Structure 1
Amino acid sequence: MALPWALAVLSLLPLLSAQSPECANFTAKPITNVTLDWLSGKWFYVAGIFRHPLHNQSARSVPSAFAYFAPNHTEDKIYTRVYQTVGDRCIYNSSQVVVHRKNGTMFTKALTPGPHLTQRFSPPENDTEYHTHLLLSKNPRTFMLSFFPEDKQKMGIAIYSDKPHFSEEQLNEFHEVIECMGMHKSEIILSDEKKDQCGPLEKQHEEERKKEQEGAKEE
C-alpha cells in the first residue's frame, strides 16, 4: 500500500553551497509572497531518490502524481490538492501546510515527507514534524525538495516540474544536485505519466469547481 505524504517544511537554507563550487549554484531564497505565488499552480512529481526504506517503498508504489498549490498570504498557509496513481486507481487528497515566514519554514505535523505531497494512508511515525528543504531551480518552472540532508541513511530528494517529464536541462541539473548530496543517479526513481489514472477525476473536479463558480456569480 502506498504511503504518500505531505509537503512538510520548506526551509530555505543554503544546503549545498559549502560542499563544492558547483553546489554554490543552488542558492537559498527567502519565503516571501513572491515565492509563494511562484509555487502556486499545478506541479508534477517527476523523479526522486529516497534512502529511507519506508519512503523508498512508497515512491515505488506510486508511479504518477501531481498536485495543485494554492497559497494564502493572509493565513500563511498553502492549500494542496493531490492526485496519485496507486496501482490501477486514483487516490485524491487535500491538505495544507503552515508557513513560518520569520524562520523561512513550512510544516505539517504527523505527516511523512516524500514526493507526493499529501497525507499518509498508514499511521504516522509518532507525532513528528518532518523538515523538507526547498531548492529553487535555474529553470523557472522546476523546484526540488530535499529530505533529511544531514542523514546519509534517510536522505532523499524529489524534483517537480510544470510538465510530467524531464527536459535535458532539468535532468542535468538534477544530476548536479544529487551528486552534491553524495547520491548517485542509479538511485533515481522515475515517475511514469503513462500510468496516470487521475485524469478523469481531475476533470470531474474541475467541472464541479466551474459549476460552483458559475452558481456563485448568479447569486
Structure 2
Amino acid sequence: MLATLALFVGLPLALGTEPSPSCAPLIPVTFDNSTVPQILGEWFYIAGASKYPPHVAQMRAVTFGAFSFSPGSHEDELNITEIIRMNETCVVRNSSRVQVFHQNSTMKQVTDDEMPAVARLIQSDKDLMILNHIETDLPNLILSARTPNVSKEHMEEFKAQLHCLGFTEEDVFYTSTEHACPLPGDEDSEDPQLG
C-alpha cells in the first residue's frame, strides 16, 4: 500500500466538493505483454486521497516515499523495494511483491505483514502511475511519478480526477522531497534505519 502513496508538489488544490457533470470515468490500463516492463524501475510517491480510514492513516504518516519494481520469480510478479519516511523515521522494506492479473487488469500487492492491496492502474502519461485501489468501495486515488516532481499539467489532470471522485483539498496528502530518505546507493546515507 505504502509503495503507492504520494509525493509533494507545491501547488494549491482548488477542488470542489461536487463532481462535475463533465467527469469522465477512470479508464484502467489493459495489461498486455508490454505493460509490466513499462512499470519496472524507480517511482516517487506524489499525492494521494482516500475515504478508507486505514489508508488515510497511512497517508497522513508518510512524508516521503519512493519505491522500485524489479522482475519477480514469475513472469507476472514484481518485487518491490520501498523507502519511506513514516513520521520521523526512514524505513526500507523489501518484504512485498506485486502480482499482475492480465484477465482483469489489476495489480495485487502482497506483503508479509499487511493485508493484500488490489488496485487498477489508470491510463495516463507513461511517466505517471495513477492507482485506484479497489479492495474497498470507498473512493481513493494515488499518484506516483518517475521523478520527485510532476508538471503543472500532470497535477491538473490528477486534481481533476480527484475532483470527480468528490475529494476536497483537505482530503489530499502530499509528501515532500525536503523529507527525502537516502536512496540505496547514496553515499551520504546516514540514517541508521537504511541498512
Task: Give the TM interval when normalised to the shorter protein.
Answer: 0.7 to 0.9
Give 1 or 2 for the bigger CA radius of gyration.
Answer: 1
- Runs of 4 or more off by more than 6 Å in structure 1? none
Distance 1:198 1:5 in 2: 17
Q: CA, structure 1 residues 68+129, in 2 after alignment: closer, same or farther (shift >3 Å)?
A: closer
- The aligned runs of 1:25-174 (5 Å cut-off) are 26-72=26-72, 74-94=74-94, 95-109=96-110, 124=114, 129-137=116-124, 139-148=125-134, 151=137, 154-174=138-158
User: Tell me, what secondary structure is at the counterpart of 1:157?
Assistant: strand
Distance 1:20 1:143, change over 3 A: farther
Structure 1 residue 43 displacement after superposition: 0.4
Q: Counterpart of 1:132 in structure 2: which amino acid?
A: A
Mapped partners of 1:203, 1:147: distance in 2? 32
| Pairwise CA distance, 1:159 | 0.2
Equivalent pair of 1:178/1:185 in contact (CA under 8 Å): no
The two structures have a TM-score, normalised by structure 2, of 0.75
Name structure 1 gaps, 5 residues minimum: 8-18, 112-118, 205-219
Q: What CA deviation, in whole Å up to 9, does each residue of 1:116-157 have, x standing for no partner?
A: xxx65xxx4xxx5432121121x3211211124873xx3211
Structure 1 residue 184, shift from structure 2 partner: 2.2
Contact 2:100 2:106 (C-alpha < 8 Å) held by counterparts: yes
Instruction: Label 1:32 to 1:148 Cα distance change in 2 as closer, same or farther (>3 A).
Output: closer
How many residue pairs were aligned? Answer: 171
Bigger proportion of residues as helix: 1
Q: Which amino acid in the other structure matches residue 186 of structure 2?
A: K
The TM-score, its normalising length taken from structure 1, stands at 0.67
RMSD, matched Cα = 2.7
Find the aligned partners of 1:103 and 1:135 in 2 and give their Cα distance.
13
> Which structure shows the higher strand fraction?
2
| Structure 2 unmatched runs, 5+ | 5-19, 188-195
